[in-house]
Amino acid sequence: MTAVLRRQVWSALTEDQRDALCRRGLNDIFDARLRESICALIDDVRARGDQAVCDALATHDGIRMNPDRLRVTGDEIDAATVDPQTERALREAIDNVRRFNDALLARMSDWSIEIQPGLTAGEKVTPISSAGLFVPSGKASYPSVAYQLGVPAVVAGVPKIVVVVPPLPGGQGEVDPAVLVVCRLLGLRDVFRVNGPAGIAALGFGTETIPQVRKVVGPGSPAVTIAQVEMQRHGLATMMLLGPTESLVIADATARADLLAADLLIEAEHGTDSTVVLVTDSTELIDKVDAHLSVQLADLPPERAAAAHASLGDNGGAVLVDTLDTAVHVANRFAAEHLQVAVDTTRIDDVVEGIVNAGEILVGQHTPFSAANFMIGCPASLPTSGFAHVSSGITVETFMKRTAVARADARALRDLAPSIEALSAHEGFPAHGNAVRRRLS
């Protein structure tokens, strides 16, 4: 039997080797030549608008169309259908994501406190003015991304929501009907068929056909990611980073090896740029999981099996640690997009409590990544490439902003005046102090 898992022993790795495992993918995402080509595309969209977007579709997607076909018409959205079981699944998923985000929104109320007598300060919470949602296509169809992005934006009350989605490969510009069904169910009518990087640029600048927005979110290829990063220079807010996908599982000898293998394959089948890691203190478990992977890979089509081999081989694999405490340390350093805990019930709480860097934590072997990706309701568009150290998944909070509100009466300002004047003098800004003195003189 040929091993599927690349095997590494954490205690035997050098710091450079540990860093290479945890850095995964960043060098590819920010490849200099790819960045140069994306920057040229961005400049082209800025200069030529719709025609540049259409040219990008022809060049990179092999689909030729005129600017008047970029918008998905209302009739197309209304006519889109999927089989009844898929529509039921979409409706259930949308309902679960909405419940999660409704609960989150309820915890985001305005607030105010009295800082000192006569001085109050707090925040008001409001939706952002506009948002662009990028729904990828190409390797697969992703209606789940459409509702994972769309529901939080709708719950937030964003007044202008624009969806961009690449057409189905090999077609004449058709968009996945399941994505259009999601848009119809959410009331999203501004939908455009565009190449990914060109669509990100179009959303940032606005074109003759595609509206300009202030923030864009959505996972994608390195090219899409670079486009989002580069468009920040032009004033477009984006999320860092959403792709390529990755997962990490912490497991001990009590975990079922066949289920571990099945769960490792969930994110591993996405693409050859995915990273999947099993962290365990049991060599025997690694052997068992490897055996099950060899069997279960045969159930996948060749393209998905090839992706899984790369994700579990050169990109990821099994990491043997001495203890579960070390496993938690490795997980926190890796900061996975998706993380599952499959350990003895007596250790679950300790392990979960110790994990502070992860896009999501799925507890137990009845909570596979696929359940969270599609149905649970918690965010599934999550930070990758280690950005779970500093950011979170896409929820209603992504589409809200907080504005500080403060009020001082004359007594409070008089109490603050000596300190204001002292700091204005120290920093060399006399007008700051003068504004206070003129009120109190």
* Active site positions, annotated: 337-338
* Phi-psi label, residue 70: left if phi above 0, alpha if psi -120 to 50, beta otherwise: alpha
Do residues 246 and 336 make contact, with C-beta atoms less than 8 angstroms apart? yes
CA distances (Å), origin 302, targets 3, 271, 294, 308: 17, 12, 13, 10
Alpha carbons 218 and 231: distance in angstroms, whole number:
14
Say which residue the tokens 């209606």 belong to: 143
Alpha carbons 50 and 63: distance in angstroms, whole number:
14
Alpha carbons 160 and 316: distance in angstroms, whole number:
40
CA dihedral 143, 139, 368, 178 (to 10 degrees): 20
CA distances (Å), origin 341, targets 14, 119, 261, 279: 26, 47, 14, 10
The two tokens of residue 329 are 């340390």
Strands 400-408 and 119-127: antiparallel
CA dihedral 330, 333, 334, 335 (to 10 degrees): 120
